[in-house]
Amino acid sequence: MSNRIAELFAPKIRVALEQDWHNVVALSEFIHSHVEESSKEFECSARLMMELEDHGYAVERGIAGMDTAFRASFGSASATTTVAFVCEYDGLPPYGQSCGHNVVAAASYGAGLALRSLADGLDLRLLVIGTPAEEGIGGKYILGDAGVFDDVDFAASIYPGMDDISASRTLAAHKLTIEAFGKAAHGAAHPELGINALDGIVLGFSAMAMLRPNLPPAARIHGIITEGGIHPQVVPDYARATVVVRAANLRELADIRARVTRAFEQAVESVGATCTVTPAARCAEPVLNIEALASMFDTALCAVGRSPRPTDEVAGAWSTDAGTLSRRVPYLQPQIKMTPRSIPPHSHGFHEASVGPDSESCIFDAAIALASMAAEFASSPEIRAEVKSQFRLAMTGAS
């Protein structure tokens, strides 16, 4: 963010956010206390839509056939620039808001409120888009396919984490459902007449573990047994597991997915059972980082007193439905420090940290940074052209 932009816009953005700060905190606390599963975020999405309408946004409900998706707009549809701030709000029962989606939503909501008074002067149209089921079916896939982001010049959302990083490291990911089919028998009287499907799945996890030392550094393979039998006195004739395969890019992902598939198939077949491996319909792609957007956010973070670090292996990585969306529209998904390294996402501790002073600092700084970079983007034709050029180049090399 240039000094000129900082002088012109940042103080006004801060004042506007401070005026509505109690609403932003209340929204975060509401979503935190109403942990709703993917695609069932009825109370959280309703609260977001009500708050946005109360602050002058026009809200379209139930878009793209999803009950809990919405698109809220502020400003003229003929504006030169359209920017979208993206909200997530599904939780992970029983781990609560252990990915901090209440913080994600509150930061985007806060940025949308803070920019309203500047929108006309910047010829800027603001969108706040609710994307359900990030932890489930991936609402951004569906919204992207439906054209909800087609008129957007750039979109952004933040993630709370352990570091301030403008260009987050994300991984490709694909979920596999693995089923083993055996033969039931009495576990004591005649186990020799059964075929133990659960043994095949357990052996498959051991085989998958043997792959790890020989995988690329960024690769991750992990999963759970979702069904392992019904009665302990019956040889399990059916067992099922869910495995997630992650890699730095789609080429690596395809290779690792094939190796994991073979490991389970051969393990299950070795106990005499049959195996079926079914990939999920959609595959998460890594987010395409656009350097011009990341640089603007970097400077904006510095302006609010944070010290962003470069992307590195230590900072960890995740997978998200925003990766696929980042191939439709320039997208930024930075990480904002909220917890120490001893509190990882997807834990009870992270849920607890997603409310209170540290989470509020994360939301406040993220909202100002998001709004500030949107103001700079809208005010500079040169920056808009550079982002568009970098996006085209990134798409050419995407894999």
User: Where does the chain hold its CATH 3.40.630.10 domain(s)?
Assistant: 3-170+285-397
Q: How far apart are CA 382 and CA 355, in angstroms?
A: 39
d(CA 282, CA 88): 19
pLDDT of residue 10: 82
Question: What is the maximum span of the chain, computed from C-alpha positions, in angstroms?
Answer: 83
- Give the pTM: 0.95
Question: Does the pLDDT value for residue 399 go beyond 80?
Answer: no
Q: Is residue 139 over pLDDT 90?
A: yes
Average pLDDT over residues 254-276: 98
Taking residues 364-376, report their average pLDDT. Answer: 96
Decide: 84 and 127 in contact? Cβ < 8 Å: yes
**Residue-level pLDDT at 80:** 97
Reported confidence tier of residue 8, pLDDT bands at 50, 70, 90: confident
Report which of 197, 183, 214, 193 is spatially closest to residue 267, judged by C-alpha positions.
197
Residue 24, pLDDT > 60, answer: yes
Residues 98-129 pLDDT 10s: 999 999 999 999 999 999 999 999 999 999 99
State yes or no: pLDDT of 192 exceeds 60: yes
Which pLDDT value is given to residue 297?
A: 95
Question: How does strand 81-87 pair with strand 154-156?
Answer: parallel
Domain 3-170+285-397: state its class.
alpha beta
Q: How many alpha carbons fall within 13 Å on the CB side of residue 166? A: 22
Query: CB atoms < 10 A from the CB of 304, how many?
Result: 17
Span(s) in the chain for CATH 3.30.70.360: 175-279
Exposure b/e, 142-163, CB count within 10 A at least 16 = b: bbbeeebbeebbbbbbbbbbbb
User: pLDDT per residue over 214-237, tens digit each?
Assistant: 999 999 999 999 999 999 999 999
Average pLDDT over residues 325-340: 97
CATH for 175-279 is 3.30.70.360
Name the residue among 342, 355, 319, 339 with its Cα closest to residue 96: 355
DSSP readout, 46-61?
Answer: HHHHHHHHHTT-EEEE
